[in-house]
Amino acid sequence: MNLSVDGDRLWDSLMTMAKIGATAKGGVCRLALTDLDRQARDLFIAWCRSVDCSITIDQFGNIFARREGRDSSKPPVLTGSHLDSQPTGGKFDGAYGVLAGLEVLRTLNDTGYRTVAPIEVAVWTNEEGSRFSPPMIGSGTFAGIFDLQYARDQIDEVGITQGEALDSIGYSGSAAVGGRSVGAYFEAHIEQGPILENENKFVGAVSGAQGQRWYLVKVNGDEAHAGTTPMTARKDALHAAARMITEVNRIALAHSPYAVGTVGRLYSSPNSRNVIPGSAELTIDLRHPEDDQLEIMDAELREALKEVADDLGLLVDVEQDYYAEPISFDQTCIGLVRSAAENFGYSYRDIVSGAGHDAVNIARIAPTGMIFIPCEGGISHNERESATLKHLVAGCNVLLYAMLGMADCD
Amino acid sequence: MNLSVDGDRLWDSLMTMAKIGATAKGGVCRLALTDLDRQARDLFIAWCRSVDCSITIDQFGNIFARREGRDSSKPPVLTGSHLDSQPTGGKFDGAYGVLAGLEVLRTLNDTGYRTVAPIEVAVWTNEEGSRFSPPMIGSGTFAGIFDLQYARDQIDEVGITQGEALDSIGYSGSAAVGGRSVGAYFEAHIEQGPILENENKFVGAVSGAQGQRWYLVKVNGDEAHAGTTPMTARKDALHAAARMITEVNRIALAHSPYAVGTVGRLYSSPNSRNVIPGSAELTIDLRHPEDDQLEIMDAELREALKEVADDLGLLVDVEQDYYAEPISFDQTCIGLVRSAAENFGYSYRDIVSGAGHDAVNIARIAPTGMIFIPCEGGISHNERESATLKHLVAGCNVLLYAMLGMADCD
């Protein structure tokens, strides 16, 4: 293996892409299916066309840049990630996986290297789940987990459907969503956690992903005057929500060190300073690498929320609106990532992904592997998110090696 | 005393006024200085003009409908309240005090009764403090507690100043704000609490009002990925805010039965389901009838918030942005309210106001009293707020009697 990627070119692409939706604090705000998302997609497509790739856009806006192989009848070896970001996201989450794929295409193009199977780089629609829930719905629809109509019907906070948003940026393509064979899928990504950095490793060979349960919780109390309603006569929905938040943290801590639990979003109504809140809505995100542990946490959560509501005389409605089972990746793919790291002399370790990724969905329909690289302080979903060139290059070289390993095998 | 008010007319006025900003759930949303507020003001003025009152509007939009007395050199006996509402408010909070005043004017007009001192009915600008903080700023500016410029400079959530809002609805009048003598002030109001109803009393002779301290609390943590950040490595601002909310409730309960404490408003950022919140902002409202107890609660609150922040490794900033000292009303005015209730044969009791009212501000510059009537279930600041005709009439008759008692004395 003599090929290796051009680190400066990869860095330039990342920094150019990061200008689209750049924030004052050095991060990126490029919510799914906004005009900024469109600009990012257009730029990616222009770059891919300049290295003689054909572009396909499917009916849910997933983009595929294809470099033909010597045997076009073979299913493609696919890589990719996403170009949408959190509202206060960073430059690398998602964009790295897409642009590492682009750098693989460019490297092959520079050297005229022709793989046996075709190579494709995918941009998956709405990975973050921030504007439209659930997350990873582009790859999920491709993998047959969601219907196209379901995906189009999801609405954002102002009532725009995902389908309308897709149409309005001109990315409702004509190709069917999924339903075709994928030879293998690799995704390069920043770890978004502190493990690789703490152990001074260049590469993580991702063995699988945590299971996730997401909940939408509605608390119904009673609005009343903050000055005249005795403490014992209150049905304060925000007070109940507050106690529920501490319960989520207690449950996650009780399942240390692998469990995490987060309340990321909270609305309280009427949200007026001198009115006791009558209703509140919160989201809960529980994760654990083992499904049976996640099930125990689910039961503990439901019991705790009920207890808080009963104690304060309020009503609570708990709806689990997203579930991702723990995933184990393909042993051949994981092995190729490990041997790629060895080939280049990069330090590496096996690692479980704490985050969901498009790879978790594609793992249902194709042999899949992921490559993690460290990010500074493990910080992600934050404008301070940062990664260093040496690690970005390492992950990209491992991606190249692993993709060639699958594309050139018989 | 043979005069008494026309209950059906009072009820009709209340119901007509309640159409302006009526909500689907039977309440009222008429935020200060919106076009709906303007409509309510216009209607009040039209009604007052039809009973030969002169109208004065001051530079902060406070409206005064004046019925001349036999001796126009005497300072007026004033009543009034407010026409703005909470976002999900009721038909009676504020509107009752204004329209009870109107009913007094109409009753005097019907009978040709001419008081010695002039009678005035005031509509105070922005009592609720819901769109623009602080509350009761119209009466507060009249009473010299706030500068006109300060009052005009306060902004709502979208950055519109109170002055701009006032100008845009055409209610920046030409009269100076305050600076004139008021003979006495009475305000009729629903209790907004459960005490009168529980004791089956028609009227509350309000002896004074609780002290209040309002705070704006900012919590600064660290945004991070909800899936990959271990529980022990988090600086979750919403988790901290949740624990602070439970502390507010604990402190208020510890000072039972007179203390109340409320977190009415909470914002969490970035408010995305799979991001650990990096910052949160909450409001706290503490009240107690005794100033020294309120001071103890203040100290306990500051200590508790600091402890939560320290425990979770976050920063907290606590700003007290409103303070109202406990108020005792004028003994002559309170006595007139009691004797009016006796005169009409209404059951009554003395009561402390849990809420702030414009009367609390006017008490600084004039002999002041308040008349409470029961509201259903003690519920207010709620679309279900309700009061019965017999109580509304009782409060209005007491108001008439008390005002005449002051207007006709030497």
Residue A271, domain member (yes or no): yes
Q: Measured between CB atoms, does B232 come within 8 Å of chain A?
A: yes
Residues B240, B289 share a domain? yes
Confidence class of residue B258 from pLDDT cuts 50, 70 and 90? confident
pTM as predicted: 0.76
Q: Which two structure tokens, joined as six digits, stand for B319?
A: 């700003």
Do A271 and A277 touch, CB atoms closer than 8 A? yes
**Quick one: average pLDDT of A153-177?**
97
User: Could you tell me which residues come within 8 angstroms of residue A198 by beta carbon, excluding any fewer than 6 positions away?
Assistant: A378
Residue B1, domain member (yes or no): no
Residues A138, A37 share a domain? yes
pLDDT at residue B158, rounded to an integer: 94
Nearest to A193 among B87, B229, B270 (CB): B229
Do A221 and A241 touch, CB atoms closer than 8 A? no
Confidence class of residue A120 from pLDDT cuts 50, 70 and 90? very high
- From B190, B144, B175, B179, select the one nearest B65 (Cα to Cα): B175
Q: Measured between CB atoms, does A231 come within 8 Å of chain B?
A: yes
Encode pLDDT of A71-108 as tens digits: 999 999 999 999 999 999 999 999 999 999 999 999 99
User: At CA B407, angle to CA B401 and CA B410, rounded to 5?
Assistant: 120
Q: Measured between CB atoms, does A276 come within 8 Å of chain B?
A: yes
Nearest to B264 among A87, A276, A378 (CB): A276
Task: Determine the distance in angstroms separating the CA of B88 from the nearest CA of chain A, rounded to an integer.
Answer: 7
- Any idea how long chain A is? 410
A-B C-beta contacts closer than 8 Å: 264
Residues A206, A289 share a domain? no
Handedness of CA B178, B182, B188, B190 (dihedral sign): positive
Task: Determine the distance in angstroms separating the CA of A393 from the nearest CA of chain B, rounded to an integer.
Answer: 22
Written as one letter, the residue type at A231 is M
From chain B, pick out residues whose CB is under 8 angstroms from the CB of A214: 273
Q: Which DSSP category does B77 fall into?
A: E
User: Could you tell me which residues come within 8 angstroms of residue A267 by beta carbon, excluding any fewer than 6 positions away?
Assistant: A280, A281, A282
Handedness of CA B144, B146, B147, B152 (dihedral sign): negative
Do A251 and B263 touch, CB atoms closer than 8 A? no
ipTM of the complex: 0.76
Domain closes at, from A324, A345, A379: A324
DSSP strand pairing (A119-123 vs A63-67): antiparallel
Residues B287, B192 share a domain? no
Q: Measured between CB atoms, does B218 come within 8 Å of chain A?
A: no
Whether cis (ω within 30° of 0) applies to the bond prior to A134 is yes
Residue A193, domain member (yes or no): yes
Would you call B277 and A260 a contact, using CB atoms and an 8 Å cutoff? no
Handedness of CA A168, A174, A176, A182 (dihedral sign): negative
Residue B85, domain member (yes or no): yes
User: At CA B313, angle to CA B310 and CA B315, rounded to 5?
Assistant: 75
Q: Where is A352: in which H helix or E strand? A: strand A348-353
pLDDT at residue B356, rounded to an integer: 87
Q: Measured between CB atoms, does A236 come within 8 Å of chain B?
A: yes
Average pLDDT across chain A, whole number = 96
Which residues are paired to B172 by β-bridges?
none
Encode pLDDT of A350-381 as tens digits: 999 988 899 999 999 999 999 999 999 988 88
Nearest to A260 among B231, B241, B242 (CB): B231
Residues A74, A45 share a domain? yes
Residue B15 has pLDDT above 70, yes or no: yes
Nearest to A223 among B243, B356, B382 (CB): B382
Greatest CA span in chain A, whole angstroms?
79
Question: Rounded to whole angstroms, how far apart are CA atoms B285 and A377?
Answer: 38
Do A296 and A332 touch, CB atoms closer than 8 A? no
Residues A150, A196 share a domain? yes
Do A18 and A149 touch, CB atoms closer than 8 A? no
**Quick one: average pLDDT of B265-270?**
96
Percentage above 90 pLDDT, chain A: 91
Whether cis (ω within 30° of 0) applies to the bond prior to B135 is no
Residues A388, A268 share a domain? no
Do B237 and B279 touch, CB atoms closer than 8 A? yes
pLDDT at residue A410, rounded to an integer: 64
Q: Measured between CB atoms, does B294 come within 8 Å of chain A?
A: no
Would you call A274 and B223 a contact, using CB atoms and an 8 Å cutoff? no
Higher pLDDT, B380 or B368: B368
Per-residue b/e over A249-268, b at no fewer than 16 CB within 10 Å? Answer: bebbeebeebbbbbbbbbbb
Which residues are paired to B201 by β-bridges?
none
Domain closes at, from A296, A324, A352: A324
Task: Determine the distance in angstroms separating the CA of A92 from the nearest CA of chain B, rounded to an integer.
Answer: 13
Nearest to B272 among A244, A253, A265 (CB): A265
Residue B230, domain member (yes or no): yes
CATH number for the domain that contains residue B264: 3.30.70.360
Residue A201 has pLDDT above 80, yes or no: yes
Confidence class of residue A1 from pLDDT cuts 50, 70 and 90? low
Domain that holds residue B261: 211-324
Encode pLDDT of A256-308 as tens digits: 888 999 999 999 999 989 899 999 999 999 999 999 999 999 999 999 999 99
B 327-386 residues inside an 8 A Cβ radius of A: 353-356, 378-383
Q: Where is A285: in which H helix or E strand? A: strand A279-288
CATH number for the domain that contains residue A118: 3.40.630.10
Nearest to A238 among B87, B263, B275 (CB): B263
Report residue A327: phi and psi, to 5°: -120, 140
> Which chain B residue has its CA at the smallest distance from A286's CA?
B227
Question: Rounded to whole angstroms, how far apart are CA atoms A223 and A237?
Answer: 8
User: At CA A380, angle to CA B307 and CA A101, rounded to 5?
Assistant: 175
Residues A230, A308 share a domain? yes
> Which chain B residue has its CA at the smallest distance from A127's CA?
B274
From chain B, pick out residues whose CB is under 8 angstroms from the CB of A252: 231
Cα of B186 vs its chain's centroid, Å: 14
Confidence class of residue A194 from pLDDT cuts 50, 70 and 90? confident
Three-state secondary-structure class, residue A151: helix
Q: Measured between CB atoms, does A210 come within 8 Å of chain B?
A: yes
Q: Which DSSP category does B75 fall into?
A: P
Would you call B277 and A261 a contact, using CB atoms and an 8 Å cutoff? no
Encode pLDDT of B286-320 as tens digits: 999 999 999 999 999 999 999 999 999 999 999 99
Residues B226, B179 share a domain? no
Q: Measured between CB atoms, does B23 come within 8 Å of chain A?
A: no
- What region does A289 belong to: left with phi over 0, alpha with psi -120 to 50, or beta? alpha
Alpha helices in B169-319 (DSSP H): 195-198, 237-254, 291-312
CB atoms within 10 A of CB B161: 15
Q: Tokens 């949200």 correspond to what residue?
A: A271
Would you call B87 and A270 a contact, using CB atoms and an 8 Å cutoff? yes
Which residues are paired to A317 by β-bridges?
A218
Encode pLDDT of A27-74 as tens digits: 999 999 999 999 999 999 999 999 999 999 999 999 999 999 999 999
Residue A26, domain member (yes or no): yes
Would you call B223 and A88 a contact, using CB atoms and an 8 Å cutoff? yes
Confidence class of residue B1 from pLDDT cuts 50, 70 and 90? low
Encode pLDDT of A202-258 as tens digits: 999 999 999 999 999 999 999 988 998 889 989 999 999 999 999 999 999 999 888
Residue A236, domain member (yes or no): yes
Would you call B268 and A272 a contact, using CB atoms and an 8 Å cutoff? no
Do B10 and B393 touch, CB atoms closer than 8 A? yes
pLDDT at residue B92, rounded to an integer: 98
A 95-114 residues inside an 8 A Cβ radius of B: none
Q: What is the CA radius of gyration of chain B?
A: 22
Q: How many domains does chain A have?
A: 2
Q: Measured between CB atoms, does A252 come within 8 Å of chain B?
A: yes
pLDDT at residue B99, rounded to an integer: 98
- Any idea how long chain B is? 410
Would you call A236 and B133 a contact, using CB atoms and an 8 Å cutoff? no
Nearest to B272 among A264, A272, A356 (CB): A264
B355 to B141, B288, B328: CA distances (angstroms): 19, 10, 14
Residue B350 has pLDDT above 70, yes or no: yes
Domain closes at, from A266, A291, A324: A324
Which burial class, exposed, middle or buried, applies to B11 when counting CB atoms under 10 A from its CB (0-12, 13-18, 19+)? middle
Report residue A90: phi and psi, to 5°: -115, -175
Residues B386, B270 share a domain? no
Residues A270, A153 share a domain? no
Report residue B257: phi and psi, to 5°: -95, 0
Three-state secondary-structure class, residue B44: helix
- Whole-angstrom distance between the N-terminal and C-terminal Cα of chain B? 18
B 114-143 residues inside an 8 A Cβ radius of A: 128-130, 133, 135
Question: Rounded to whole angstroms, how far apart are CA atoms A360 and B331?
Answer: 75
Encode pLDDT of A132-151 as tens digits: 988 999 999 999 999 999 99
Would you call A382 and B224 a contact, using CB atoms and an 8 Å cutoff? yes
Q: Which DSSP category does A228 fall into?
A: T
Residues A177, A104 share a domain? yes
Query: Which of A222, A273, A281 to probe by mutation at the B interface, max B CB count within 10 Å?
Result: A273
Q: Measured between CB atoms, does A194 come within 8 Å of chain B?
A: yes
From chain B, pick out residues whose CB is under 8 angstroms from the CB of A323: none
Which burial class, exposed, middle or buried, applies to A315 when counting CB atoms under 10 A from its CB (0-12, 13-18, 19+)? middle
From chain B, pick out residues whose CB is under 8 angstroms from the CB of A246: 239, 242-243, 246
Per-residue b/e over A317-335, b at no fewer than 16 CB within 10 Å? Answer: ebeeebebebbebbeebbe
Alpha helices in B112-204 (DSSP H): 137-142, 148-153, 162-168, 195-198
Would you call B225 and A268 a contact, using CB atoms and an 8 Å cutoff? no
Do B5 and B396 touch, CB atoms closer than 8 A? yes
Encode pLDDT of B111-166 as tens digits: 999 999 999 999 999 999 999 988 999 999 999 999 999 999 999 999 999 999 99
Task: State the DSSP string of A299-341.
Answer: HHHHHHHHHHHHHHT-EEEEEEEEEE--EE--HHHHHHHHHHH
Do B149 and B370 touch, CB atoms closer than 8 A? no
Residue A1, domain member (yes or no): no
Task: Determine the distance in angstroms separating the CA of A190 from the nearest CA of chain B, rounded to an integer.
Answer: 11
From chain A, pick out residues whose CB is under 8 angstroms from the CB of B232: 253, 256-257
Task: Determine the distance in angstroms separating the CA of A192 from the nearest CA of chain B, rounded to an integer.
Answer: 6
From chain A, pick out residues whose CB is under 8 angstroms from the CB of B270: 86-88
- Whole-angstrom distance between the N-terminal and C-terminal Cα of chain A? 18
Would you call B256 and A87 a contact, using CB atoms and an 8 Å cutoff? no
Question: Rounded to whole angstroms, how far apart are CA atoms B345 and A330?
Answer: 87
Query: Which of A225, A294, A384 to probe by mutation at the B interface, max B CB count within 10 Å?
Result: A225
From chain B, pick out residues whose CB is under 8 angstroms from the CB of A353: 227-228
Per-residue b/e over A6-33, b at no fewer than 16 CB within 10 Å? Answer: ebeebbebbeebbebbbbeeebbbbbbb
- From A351, A356, A372, select the one nearest A189 (Cα to Cα): A372
pLDDT at residue B410, rounded to an integer: 63
Q: Tokens 């003994």 correspond to what residue?
A: B331
Handedness of CA A181, A187, A193, A198 (dihedral sign): positive
pLDDT at residue B201, rounded to an integer: 97
Q: Which two structure tokens, joined as six digits, stand for A154?
A: 């999801």
Question: Rounded to whole angstroms, how far apart are CA atoms B187 and A363?
Answer: 70
Q: Which two structure tokens, joined as six digits, stand for A92?
A: 């690398």
